[in-house]
């Protein structure tokens, strides 16, 4: 079995710290103090939640997703986190956030358990400042974690210098589990015994990403703790209509991992369960699945009336079992917390929340400039100083070998670069685009299960933690299975959190090889529409090499479309000293009468057509876009203004293909220079047939380009 997480080829998490970080948060405290401390955070969470419920009723916050009833799960979980770890939360995990963010000694300075915390966290900001910033975030005010871009707990806080790595949610809840698995992959490679913990509701376990991520975590022995907060109703659908298993933890057994179901209303039982789970994950023994049964005490969102699906008798039982007051009563009966101590804890919590909330309510609205902040990160980013000593290639090399060579050079240059994909390790990929790389870096060339969404999600999590994953999707057509991860997670991250996500998705795309409708698509237009993604379509071997290296070095997610037809048909000389910049077009042939604009395989068709047109007295200029996003508009317009005529050629279907965008840019910005309408040559709106004679009938071809050019010249 391939266990890729550790850089040394060992099982994940085999190295644990002997420093104070390696201590449990409770190890230096007696049991009574630990339990009072637990109640303090439960009450702090409840107080903030209740205040925001009131704010919603008064109209000062538009929407509120209550975590009331989940505190006995999230607080014990959060108390086991330290700076080695990653918290991946949803909208009912406030307790874990507070425990992770706040230094206990400063949060409750007058309470006797504060000074006895096992692991001091002096690097954290002051509790009052963090709570105010959190309240600003929840209110959508300026100075919140996302400056008004994100609602409630959708934000992320990646501040490793403060010991905080918090990955927030998207609304497609199950989709964050693969991301958490990727975070676990990254912390395993750090070798400090770190853990990634992720929360999900019972409804989210019905998603495919739940299963893909759990399987990936199991196969790779990742230090992932996945917590199901099972309130039995998801949004409003009872578990009888969600699954047939007796317990959701049984699914963990099916994947061969440690799994258990517990009473989520008993904080002491929950704490003991997490103590065992963290020890298991930190030791390198693999992931843990915990199903915590909790009562449905609120609706999905406040005011949405979804609580009506819970029968009154059942709801009354949940309210009676409310874990916060019940835990306080139990601590009193056990002689652990007297009335003075309880009042002291509750008074401090209420003061903290009221002060933070008052300041946040007085804070200004976000600066309007924030709405237009960039969706792409700048190119400035740290790189490893390890450089290749191999000389540049001066002989011809094929397009696909150039891709392999680019990956080799980047892996030599930067040990954070990982390759992931199906059959790319020992088999070296279906097109041999990873030839020789697994033999050289067996811990960095990782075979993945057949799970595109889970794989891309894991790569996103790893990228957020500082790695640079390069994913080979076996055929571009299969990327549709990972569409949500790319367009809703990866693409939006920088705009949402200003967090770079250096990730490359390699897509062997295109037709012309008789591969039929599920192995011949050109999906570049799908992704060019999405802000936050870069889209690259090289036509030459030199560009396949240079632009792939530039894509791996880029701090943004890049969709890298490689035309399969070119893999072994096109060769070129590589130049390690050549400029490698995304967003620069290339003029492949100069001309004065007509501009042919293309990318990928169609560049070669246009070059052949231009040669034929020259025999007819028409000098066509061929512009190779190379990169669709960002688009080199300047080069396109410069050429069209010179020739007065423009034709866009691409293999993707004509309706809403990227050529439509290019044609619109030309028509809008070069209209005064045009002597004829902008023309498009593309694939007709239908799938790709299998028989090559049928496929050739539909593909753009040299004859069609020449005929259309002659019509444009005669206009």
570 phi-psi bin (left φ>0, alpha ψ -120 to 50, beta other): beta
Least confident span in 111-115, 393-397, 700-704: 111-115
pLDDT band at 476 (very low <50, low <70, confident <90, very high): confident
More confident of the two residues 141 and 391:
141
Answer yes or no: are the C-beta atoms of 167 and 176 closer than 8 Å: yes
Query: What does the block give as tokens for 157?
Result: 């806080």
Give burial (CB, 10 Å; 0-12/13-18/19+) of 247.
middle
pLDDT band at 7 (very low <50, low <70, confident <90, very high): very low
**pLDDT at 392 > cutoff 80:** no
d(CA 715, CA 712) in angstroms, rounded, equals 5
Residue identified by tokens 């209303």 is 265
Helices (H) and strands (E) in the chain, counts: 24, 21
Write down the pLDDT at residue 387. Answer: 44
Write down the pLDDT at residue 63. Answer: 85
Write down the pLDDT at residue 108. Answer: 92
pLDDT in tens, 76-105: 999 999 999 999 999 899 999 999 999 988
DSSP labels, 156-199 = -EEEGGGTEEEE---SSGGGHHHHHHHHHHHHHHHTS---EEEE
Q: Which residues contact 701 (CB under 8 A, 6 or more apart)?
A: 605
**pLDDT at 39 > cutoff 50:** yes
The predicted model gives 254-278 an average pLDDT of: 97
Write down the pLDDT at residue 323. Answer: 96
Write down the pLDDT at residue 579. Answer: 66
Length of the chain: 715
In the chain, what percentage of residues exceed pLDDT 70?
92
CATH number for 20-362 (one of 3.30.70.1060, 3.40.50.970, 1.10.10.10, 3.40.50.2000): it is 3.40.50.970
The predicted model gives 702-709 an average pLDDT of: 96
- Residues facing residue 562 across a β-bridge: 508
Write down the pLDDT at residue 644. Answer: 97
Exposed e or buried b per residue across 3-12, where buried means at least 16 C-beta atoms within 10 angstroms of its C-beta? bbbbeeeebb
**pLDDT at 356 > cutoff 50:** yes
**pLDDT at 300 > cutoff 80:** yes
pLDDT in tens, 449-459: 999 999 999 99
Least confident span in 271-285, 376-390, 675-689: 376-390
Give me the CATH code for the 396-573 domain, please: 3.40.50.970
446 phi-psi bin (left φ>0, alpha ψ -120 to 50, beta other): beta
Write down the pLDDT at residue 6. Answer: 41
User: What mean pLDDT is reported for the chain?
Assistant: 91
Say what the alpha-carbon torsion angle 592, 596, 597, 601 is, to the nearest 10 degrees: -130
Write down the pLDDT at residue 113. Answer: 61
Least confident span in 14-18, 520-524, 554-558: 14-18
Least confident span in 249-258, 306-315, 345-354, 364-373: 306-315
Write down the pLDDT at residue 391. Answer: 53
pLDDT band at 112 (very low <50, low <70, confident <90, very high): low
Domain boundaries, the chain: 20-362, 396-573, 586-714
Question: DSSP class of residue 11?
Answer: P
The predicted model gives 159-174 an average pLDDT of: 92
Write down the pLDDT at residue 17. Answer: 32
Write down the pLDDT at residue 466. Answer: 96
d(CA 352, CA 341) in angstroms, rounded, equals 17
The predicted model gives 112-118 an average pLDDT of: 53
d(CA 60, CA 302) in angstroms, rounded, equals 13
Other residues' Cβ atoms within 10 Å of the Cβ of residue 450: 13
pLDDT in tens, 593-613: 999 999 999 999 999 999 999
Query: What does the block give as tokens for 126?
Result: 């002051």
The predicted model gives 131-147 an average pLDDT of: 95
Give the closest residue to 541 by CA, choosing from 564, 572, 568, 579.
Answer: 572
Write down the pLDDT at residue 110. Answer: 79
DSSP labels, 350-407 = HHHHHHHHHHHHTSPPPPGGGGG--SS--S----------SPPP-SEEEHHHHHHHHH
Least confident span in 169-178, 347-356, 387-396, 631-640: 387-396
519 is catalytic: yes
What are the helix (H) ranges across 619-681?
Answer: 633-643, 658-669
DSSP labels, 147-165 = TTSS-GGG--EEEGGGTEE
Write down the pLDDT at residue 622. Answer: 98
Q: In terms of DSSP bridges, do strands 224-230 and 157-159 run parallel, antiparallel, or are they unpaired?
A: unpaired
Write down the pLDDT at residue 23. Answer: 40
d(CA 532, CA 88) in angstroms, rounded, equals 22
Architecture field, domain 586-714: 3-Layer(aba) Sandwich (3.40)
Write down the pLDDT at residue 190. Answer: 96
pLDDT in tens, 506-539: 999 988 888 888 888 999 999 999 999 999 999 9
Do the two domains 20-362 and 396-573 of this chain adopt the same fold? Answer: yes
Other residues' Cβ atoms within 10 Å of the Cβ of residue 21: 16
Please pick, among 519, 529, 563, 650, the residue that the annotation labels catalytic: 519
The predicted model gives 685-690 an average pLDDT of: 91
Answer yes or no: are the C-beta atoms of 170 and 488 closer than 8 Å: yes
């Amino acid at each position: 079995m391939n266990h890729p997480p550790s850089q040394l080829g060992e099982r994940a998490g085999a190295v644990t710290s002997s420093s104070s970080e390696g201590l449990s948060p409770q190890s230096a405290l007696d049991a009574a103090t630990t339990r009072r401390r637990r109640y303090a955070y439960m009450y702090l969470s409840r107080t903030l939640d209740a205040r925001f419920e009131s704010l919603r009723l008064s109209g000062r916050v538009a929407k509120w997703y209550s975590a009331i009833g989940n505190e006995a799960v999230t607080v014990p979980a959060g108390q086991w986190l330290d700076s080695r770890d990653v918290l991946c939360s949803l909208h009912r995990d406030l307790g874990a956030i507070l425990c992770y963010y706040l230094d206990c000694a400063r949060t409750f300075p007058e309470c006797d358990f504060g000074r006895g915390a096992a692991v001091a966290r002096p690097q954290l900001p002051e509790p009052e400042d963090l709570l105010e910033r959190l309240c600003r975030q929840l209110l959508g005010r300026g100075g919140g974690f996302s400056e008004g871009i994100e609602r409630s707990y959708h934000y992320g806080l990646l501040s490793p210098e403060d010991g905080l790595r918090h990955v927030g949610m998207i609304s497609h809840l199950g989709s964050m589990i693969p991301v958490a698995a990727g975070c676990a992959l990254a912390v395993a490679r750090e070798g400090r015994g770190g853990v990634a913990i992720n929360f999900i509701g019972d409804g989210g376990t019905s998603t495919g990403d739940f299963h893909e991520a759990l399987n990936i975590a199991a196969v790779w022995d990742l230090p992932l703790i996945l917590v199901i907060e099972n309130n039995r109703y998801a949004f409003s659908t009872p578990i009888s209509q969600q699954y047939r298993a007796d317990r959701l933890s049984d699914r963990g057994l099916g994947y061969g991992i440690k799994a258990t179901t517990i009473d989520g209303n008993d904080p002491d039982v929950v704490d003991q369960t997490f103590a065992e789970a963290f020890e298991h994950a930190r030791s390198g023994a693999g992931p843990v699945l915990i199903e915590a049964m909790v009562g449905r005490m609120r609706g999905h969102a406040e005011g949405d009336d979804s609580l009506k699906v819970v029968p009154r008798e059942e709801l009354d039982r949940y309210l009676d079992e409310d874990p916060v007051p019940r835990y306080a009563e139990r601590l009193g009966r056990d002689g652990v917390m007297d009335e003075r101590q309880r009042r002291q804890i509750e008074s401090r919590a209420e003061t903290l929340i009221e002060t933070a909330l008052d300041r946040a309510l007085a804070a200004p609205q976000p600066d309007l400039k924030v709405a237009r902040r960039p969706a792409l990160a700048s190119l400035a980013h740290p790189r490893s100083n390890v450089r290749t000593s191999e000389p540049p290639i001066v002989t011809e090399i094929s397009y696909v070998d150039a891709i392999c060579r680019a990956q080799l050079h980047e892996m030599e240059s930067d040990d954070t670069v990982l390759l992931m994909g199906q059959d790319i390790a020992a088999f070296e990929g279906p097109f041999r685009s990873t030839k020789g790389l697994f033999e050289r870096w067996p811990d960095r060339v990782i075979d993945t299960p057949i799970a595109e969404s889970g794989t891309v999600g894991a790569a996103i999590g790893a990228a957020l933690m500082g790695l640079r994953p390069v994913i080979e999707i076996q055929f571009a057509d299969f990327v549709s299975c990972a569409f949500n991860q790319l367009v809703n997670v990866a693409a939006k991250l920088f705009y949402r959190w200003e967090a770079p996500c250096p990730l490359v998705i390699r897509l062997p795309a295109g037709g012309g090889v008789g591969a039929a409708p599920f192995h011949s698509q050109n999906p570049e237009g799908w992704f060019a529409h999405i802000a936050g993604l870069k889209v690259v379509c090289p036509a030459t071997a030199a560009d396949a090499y240079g632009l792939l290296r530039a894509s791996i070095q880029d701090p943004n997610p890049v969709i890298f479309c490689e035309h399969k037809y070119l893999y072994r048909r096109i060769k070129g000389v590589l130049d390690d000293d050549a400029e490698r910049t995304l967003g620069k077009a290339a003029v492949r042939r100069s001309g004065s009468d007509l501009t042919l604009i293309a990318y990928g395989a169609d560049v070669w068709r246009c070059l052949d057509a231009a040669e034929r047109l020259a025999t007819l007295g028409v000098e066509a200029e061929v512009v190779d876009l190379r990169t669709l996003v960002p688009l080199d508009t300047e080069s396109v317009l410069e050429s069209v203004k010179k020739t007065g005529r423009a034709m866009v050629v691409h293999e993707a279907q004509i309706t809403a293909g990227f050529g439509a965008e290019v044609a619109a840019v030309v028509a809008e910005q070069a209209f005064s220079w045009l002597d004829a309408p902008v023309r498009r040559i593309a694939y007709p709106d239908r799938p790709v047939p299998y028989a090559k004679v049928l496929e050739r009938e539909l593909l753009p071809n040299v004859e069609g380009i020449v005929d259309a050019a002659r019509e444009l010249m005669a206009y």
